[in-house]
Amino acid sequence: MLLAFVVLLTAAVPSALASGTTGNSGSKKLVLGTSADFAPYEFHKVINGKDEIVGFDIAIAKEIAADLGAELVIEDMGFDGLLPALQSGRVDLVISGMTPTEERKKSIDFSNTYYKSKQVIMVRNEDKDKYPTMTELENEKIGAQKGSIQETIGQKIPGAKLTSLDKISDIVLQLQTKRINAAIVEDTVAAGYLDDAIGLAPAIPDEEQVEAAIGIRKGNTELLKAVNGTLERLKSENRIDQMVTEASQLMADRETKTPNIFEVFWQYKSFYATGVGYTLLLSALGVIFGVIIGLIICLFRMHDLAILRWIGTAYVEVIRGTPMLVQLMIIYYGLSLTFGINFSALQAGIITLSINSGAYLAEIFRAGIQGVDRGQLEAARSLGMGKGAAMRFIILPQAFKAVLPAIGNEFVTIIKESSIISVIGMVDIMYQASVVKNITYQGMNPFLIAAAIYFVLTFILSKLLGRLERKLSASDRR
């Protein structure tokens, strides 16, 4: 019932997060998976007041879609989530400066190479002379993108303390705040982050030039042939080099003046407004379905049948004993890979929040029911009421009033914990803050704005719940 309700309620929501369409040859959409923080390959840019994902990878994808006569749909997600998304059919192809390593070829197919680059070591300008060769990087704190070829290079450096993160911008932030002393990146990507504080070290990894190719789900030979055909055409027309130049110019075209936090908020207020809308939708539906699940599990735990009590107890222990992020990955990727059930990011987020919240609300309801004097149930039964009717009309109303503050606290908690859903590309507040960070190259202000928005939401909600609680308790004072 929960799954059916979520699918129905979210079917018409314009989440701009399409499912993969590879299996349908008649589809008019080509879904691209990418990690849009890898300028100039793919990155966010405000153009004519609108946020767009641009870069030469995106330009190539548009050419592929045009040759196929399809509409290009872009899904932005973490780099390490691209392969699972492709394998599960959520996206049709992956273009994200991905290197076709032998390990990756076991999971997906790759197109012909469309670009080559070399690896460089990015450091703080004050440390340039400290790393003349790769030997000096031994036993140092190094950063690299999670799941990338750069991470593999870092793992080979003896004694290196490697920090792997999803976003290049987060790695640069680690470098700026002196949590790492060097970062391994591609030379094309590094160009977008070089400034008065960040530069390149003389040390260069021994690896040869790294190739970039397009990832396609195994067995999809028709799409692979079409992609290779488009790449050959672009190469023959010398279009790819032109695309790289245009993307690099677009990447370099950024403000020299650093806006303050109020200017950032005002300029990108529409981003945060969208994030607030999805955060509230996730939280509200998560609590509504969580209450339903929690009440059912609570009644299971208090039922006379041992099997129902066991089911209720097992549910609570398993859900409370596993991280919400793991539950999200199982629902979003696991169900798709195992059973072919493809939920959108919005649907997966609501289901995850609901089942997680349901386990905690079940215990809250159980405490509330047990707090009602048992004599009331016995009195109702002695007057001829059935156990179900007595529970519905006598016990549950009193229990609900008693646990209302705890339910309110759970709602506040869900609003904050919904930020986890951003890892699968859900455009909530945290996702939008990351987008603004990638656009502005500011590591602090976008997240301070997000923190302020979360505080305002939870503060207002707490006050409203307080008023409701006082109104419900007014009868107790008469």
Among the listed residues 88, 119, 110, 98, the one whose alpha carbon sits nearest the alpha carbon of residue 34: 98
Roughly what angle, to the nearest 10 degrees, separates helices 221-236 and 56-68? Answer: 120
Which backbone phi and psi does 91 adopt, to 5 degrees? Answer: -125, 160
Determine the pLDDT at residue 208.
Answer: 63
Q: Reduce the DSSP state of residue 52 to 3 states and report it.
A: strand
| CATH class (in words) of the domain with range 264-477 | mainly alpha
Q: How far apart are CA 79 and CA 102, in angstroms?
A: 18
Check residue 160 and give left, alpha or beta (phi > 0: left; psi -120 to 50: alpha): beta
What are the mean pLDDT values of the chain's consecutive 10-residue runs (478 residues total)? 57 43 57 89 85 92 94 88 88 92 92 92 93 93 90 92 88 90 90 85 82 93 95 93 86 68 89 92 91 91 90 94 93 86 87 93 89 81 79 82 82 88 86 85 86 93 83 63
Determine the pLDDT at residue 360.
Answer: 93
Determine the pLDDT at residue 304.
Answer: 84
Q: How far apart are CA 111 and CA 377, in angstroms?
A: 69
Domain ranges of the chain: 18-114+212-254, 119-207, 264-477
| Cβ atoms < 10 Å from Cβ of 156 | 12
Asked if residues 390 and 325 have their Cβ atoms less than 8 Å apart, the reply is no
Determine the pLDDT at residue 7.
Answer: 56
Lookup: tokens for 271:
């981003």
Beta-carbon contacts of residue 208 (< 8 Å; ≥ 6 apart): none
Q: Please, what is the Cα angle at 360 between 357 and 362, to 5 degrees?
A: 105
**Amino acid letter, 313:** T
Determine the pLDDT at residue 21.
Answer: 41
Q: Reduce the DSSP state of residue 108 to 3 states and report it.
A: strand
Q: How far apart are CA 432 and CA 47, in angstroms?
A: 16
Which backbone phi and psi does 147 adopt, to 5 degrees? Answer: 80, 10
Q: Reduce the DSSP state of residue 322 to 3 states and report it.
A: coil
For residue 127, the surrounding DSSP H or E stretch is none
Fold classified for 119-207: D-Maltodextrin-Binding Protein; domain 2 (3.40.190)
Q: Check: CATH 3.40.190.10 for 18-114+212-254?
A: yes
Per-residue pLDDT tens digits for 420-448 = 888 887 889 998 998 888 777 777 899 99
Domains 119-207 and 264-477 in one fold: no
Per-residue pLDDT tens digits for 118-171 = 899 999 999 989 999 999 999 999 999 888 889 989 999 999 999 998 888 889
Determine the pLDDT at residue 9.
Answer: 56
